[in-house]
Structure 1
């Protein structure tokens, strides 16, 4: 896809991640600047989770998603996770824990999931940038405090 088209699609999808949505969900947007989204999920009595989504070839490829500490450092150890979406890893490319769900680049490139093609889900409403972030947020809400 042409780089200008990738950026235009990114900007079209991220314009919906505004202050009202973030306030309702307890999201803090640290950065939305093509091709990066850096966001924290916060909630009363919950351990915050920070993410960096790199959407450098959106949507030919799903975003690469890095789990981070509240200060923005790569998360190296995960707390227990009953949802299974947050995988302790390490991922064979990043050597870090990762988001193990359809819609993350780490999932689609993991040896266990290389036959679960991104093309099979991209373009559906659940696999927009906001849809992917919402799925991760919902998994975080279900996880251990």
Structure 2
């Protein structure tokens, strides 16, 4: 099933007028700092209820690459959190787990990993925020405030309604997390190789 088909067949549980008003409020909040967001490399290319399509670039690099796109679906917002897919910025096709353009890594807090059975070998423990069970599956952003996170069987005890009024699941929250873990850590590691030596 395509992304568009899944949006079209989603059960409507919230009056679309209410969801649209909340969607518009999210866009107004984003636009208040839009110039700053653009400096960080976040470009909303299309925002038409219920979807927002954003492209992320890495302005800290020269030349500055376009890294990935994100498609957010605000259907039934905010009874449901937004759905998030990392997509090809040119085709809007979702990436599968094996072809994500960046790893989306987050440091695991030391307190969460320290135990007597786990000696500290000096490595920094990390967690992949884009989760998938098979490499050909479309991964989901494993954070509270994202629909796929709250629908996943491993998170059934972490209800969205417990997070709804804490800022998680807002447009800014999600775009900021995608930037923080997908773009901000990027740097070039260039090496030069001579491919041809002129006479």
TM exceeds 0.5?
A: yes
Max Rg structure: 2
Equivalent residue in structure 2 for 1:16, among 29, 53, 56? 29
Q: Which segments of 5 or more consecutive residues in structure 2 lack a partner in the other structure?
A: 1-13, 107-127, 188-199
Aligned residue number for residue 74 of structure 1: 94
Question: CA offsets per residue over residues 54-105 of structure 1, 9 Å max, x none?
Answer: 00111100111111112122111224443221224459xxx41121111111
The answer as to 2:150 corresponding to 1:108 is yes
Give the alignment's Cα RMSD to 1 decimal.
2.2
Provide the rounded CA distance (Å) in 2 between the counterparts of 1:130 and 1:20. 14
Provide the rounded CA distance (Å) in 2 between the counterparts of 1:9 and 1:110. 25
The answer as to 2:33 corresponding to 1:33 is no
Q: How many residues align?
A: 142
Alpha carbons of 1:56 and 1:102: their partners in 2 closer, same or farther (altered >3 Å)? same
Find the residue that maps to 1:106 and give its secondary structure. helix
Provide the rounded CA distance (Å) in 1 between the counterparts of 2:40 and 2:154. 32
TM superposition shift of 1:47: 6.0
When the two structures are superposed, what TM-score results if normalisation uses the length of structure 1? 0.84
Alpha carbons of 1:51 and 1:12: their partners in 2 closer, same or farther (altered >3 Å)? same
User: Residues 49 and 69 of structure 1 are in contact (CA less than 8 Å); yes or no, is this contact kept in structure 2?
Assistant: yes
Find the residue that maps to 1:116 and give its secondary structure. coil
Aligned residue number for residue 127 of structure 1: 169
Provide the rounded CA distance (Å) in 2 between the counterparts of 1:41 and 1:102. 21
Provide the rounded CA distance (Å) in 1 between the counterparts of 2:104 and 2:172. 22
Q: Which segments of 5 or more consecutive residues in structure 1 lack a partner in the other structure?
A: none
Alpha carbons of 1:99 and 1:57: their partners in 2 closer, same or farther (altered >3 Å)? same
Find the residue that maps to 1:51 and give its secondary structure. strand
When the two structures are superposed, what TM-score results if normalisation uses the length of structure 2? 0.63
Provide the rounded CA distance (Å) in 2 between the counterparts of 1:108 and 1:90. 19
The answer as to 2:76 corresponding to 1:57 is yes
